[in-house]
Chains A and B, each alone.
Chain A
Amino acid sequence: MINYIAAAIIMAAAVIGVGFGMCFATSKAIDASARQPEAASKIQTILLLGCALAESTAIYAFVVSLILATAK
């Protein structure tokens, strides 16, 4: 039982943090590409890379919580 509670807390904390992080990165990218539309494609690549790196923390939390939830 305690495993499920731990998994839920891990997932919630990770998702809150990563949600804020990705939203911050996206808003900055929109600012940048509105200021310099000719650099939009470069900014998009960097944004995707940064979002993937930020997302990976949530993915690690997901994997850890899965291990906790399926542990026997």
Chain B
Amino acid sequence: MQTKTVIEAAVGAVVFAACLVGFLFMKGKLKETETPDKKLAKRKKLFFIGMIIGAWFMGGVLLTAFSGMKPGGLHINFEMFSPRVTLPFGNLTLAKTTVTAVIVTALLVILLALFRLICVPKFTDGEPKGMQNAAEIAVEFMDGFVEKATEGNFISLLSPFMLCMALFMAGCAFSELVGARAPTSDLTCTLALGLCTFTLINVCGIRKNGIGGRLKNMGGAMPAMRPVMIPLKAVSDIAVPVSLGCRLFGNMLGGLMVMDLLKGVLGGYASGLPAIAGLYFNLFHPGIQIYIFITLSLTFINEALEMPETT
């Protein structure tokens, strides 16, 4: 340990202790007076802020000294695809994000099974309360959303599917909060989700109009143009899962990289501040992306359901 570190940590500790004493003093004084004094309350707030800053500084100095994380260094070890782990049996390797995805899925299944076993038997037809309200809000919101997007077709198929996808993506985004790399920031996972949508587009289109109807839908309104239009439309249909997957992947990876850069810049001082940035990059941003993914999927599905008016 260098003397500089000791002095810096001591300064942080002294600031923290002085502000703690001031804060407690002001608190005691505030209790004595009958009417709340605005000046005293302001001073108490200032002492509280000073206390937090002192503790943050001291923690940063100590963390830098003990862990060797230097602030200001952009030494993020970034890889486009996640590192792989070797399974204990055989020579199989798995990407770490796949392992995270399996864990997230297992946790979600356990949670929902517990919900089914414990909460659902208590549901009543009368006045709903507690968990029943939450479940009803989620299901009704999704049903209404799908009904608005697809004009009332395939609600019983699409609504649970989309809710399930949203839950999975939200679970993946939250796995970043415990330090794992989110599975949705891996191209394979997002492309798989895009392929699910691609399958649904064709399944719904063929079930609604039949295979001939689906071809007519792809060919457009003019019968003479259909031999030209169908291959073109097929190419643009194949682009749908790629575009959906790349969009989700790029957005999630962007958020991950910004958070990594922030942690790299702050080094040992990275306590508290990344949590504030994480509110946007780990909570709000994935939420928006989930909404966009589902809206776009439903839009593409609705496009495949339409029957062109033949002239």
Q: How distant is the Cα of A39 from the Cα of B255 in the complex, in angstroms?
A: 32
**Are A59 and B246 within 8 A (Cβ)?**
yes
Q: Is the CB of A59 within 8 A of B295?
A: no
Beta-carbon contact of B80 and A66 below 8 Å: yes
Q: Does B269 sit at the interface, judged by CB under 8 A?
A: no
Residues of A within 8 A of B284 (CB): none
Check A49–B296 contact: CB distance below 8 A. yes
Instruction: Give the complex CA separation of A45 and B292 in angstroms.
Output: 10
Determine the residue in chain B with the shortest Cβ distance to A49. B295
Instruction: Name the A residues within 8 Å of B296 (CB-CB).
Output: 49, 52
Majority SS of interface residues in chain B? Answer: helix
Residue of A nearest to B249 (CB): A63
**Distance in Å: Cβ of A60 to nearest Cβ of chain B:** 6
* B291 is an interface residue with CB less than 8 A from chain A: yes
> Contact at B78–A70, with CB atoms within 8 Å?
yes
A29 to chain B, nearest CB (A): 15
Residue tally, chain A, CB below 8 Å to B:
13
Question: CA of A67 to CA of B103 in the docked complex: distance in angstroms?
Answer: 28
Cβ-defined contact, B295 with A67, below 8 A: no
Cβ-neighbour of A63 out of B246, B292, B299 (below 8 A): B246
Chain B residues near A60: list those with CB within 8 A: 246, 250
Secondary structure type dominating chain A contacts: helix
Q: Which chain A residues in 12-48 approach chain B with CB under 8 Å? A: 45, 48
Tell whether, in the assembled complex, residue A48 and residue B295 are in contact, meaning their CB atoms are under 8 Å apart: yes
Residue B199 is within 8 A (CB to CB) of chain A in the complex: no
B residues in contact with A49, CB < 8 Å? 292, 295-296, 299
Give the distance in Å from the alpha carbon of A56 to the alpha carbon of B253 in the complex.
Answer: 13
A56-72: CB near B (< 8 Å → 1, else 0) gives 10011011001100100
Nearest neighbor of A67 in chain B, beta-carbon distance: B80
Q: Are B78's CB and A48's CB within 8 A?
A: no
Q: In the bound complex, do residue B292 and residue A62 qualify as a contact, i.e. CB atoms below 8 Å apart?
A: no
For the complex, give the distance between the alpha carbons of A49 and B294 in Å: 11
Are A48's CB and B291's CB within 8 A?
yes
Of the candidates A45, A48, A59, the one whose C-beta lies within 8 Å of that of B250 is A59
Known interface pairs A45-B295, A49-B295; A70-B79 also in contact (CB < 8 Å)? yes
Distance in Å: Cβ of A31 to nearest Cβ of chain B = 22
Highest count of chain A CB atoms <10 Å: which of B78, B79, B80, B250: B250
With contacts A48-B291, A52-B292, A66-B253 taken as known, whether A59 is within 8 angstroms of B247 at the C-beta atoms is: yes
Interface centre among A56, A60, A67 (most CB of B within 10 A): A56
Find chain A residues with CB under 8 A from B295 CB. 45, 48-49, 52
Q: How far is the CB of B144 from chain A (nearest CB, A)?
A: 12
Identify the A interface with B (CB < 8 A).
Answer: 45, 48-49, 52, 55-56, 59-60, 62-63, 66-67, 70
9 closest A-B pairs by beta carbon, nearest first, are: A59-B250, A52-B292, A56-B247, A70-B80, A62-B250, A63-B250, A59-B247, A63-B246, A66-B80
